[in-house]
Amino acid sequence: NAGVTQTPKFQVLKTGQSMTLQCAQDMNHEYMSWYRQDPGMGLRLIHYSVGAGITDQGEVPNGYNVSRSTTEDFPLRLLSAAPSQTSVYFCASSSYSGANVLTFGAGSRLTVL
Partner 1 sequence: QQQVKQSPQSLIVQKGGISIINCAYENTAFDYFPWYQQFPGKGPALLIAIRPDVSEKKEGRFTISFNKSAKQFSLHIMDSQPGDSATYFCAALYNFNKFYFGSGTKLNVKP
- Which residues lie near partner 1 (CB under 8 A)? 4, 31, 33, 35, 40-45, 48, 50, 56, 58-59, 90, 92, 96, 99-102, 104-107
Minimum distance from residue 112 beta carbon to partner 1 (Å): 21
Comparison of 27 and 45: residue with beta carbon closer to partner 1:
45
Q: How far apart are CA 55 and CA 82, in angstroms?
A: 23
Collapsing DSSP to helix, strand or coil, 47 comes out as strand
Comparison of 17 and 104: residue with beta carbon closer to partner 1:
104
Q: How far apart are CA 90 and CA 5, in angstroms?
A: 10
How large is the C-alpha radius of gyration of the chain?
A: 13
Minimum distance from residue 102 beta carbon to partner 1 (Å): 7
Cis peptide before 61 (omega within 30 of 0): no
Minimum distance from residue 18 beta carbon to partner 1 (Å): 25
Comparison of 17 and 30: residue with beta carbon closer to partner 1:
30
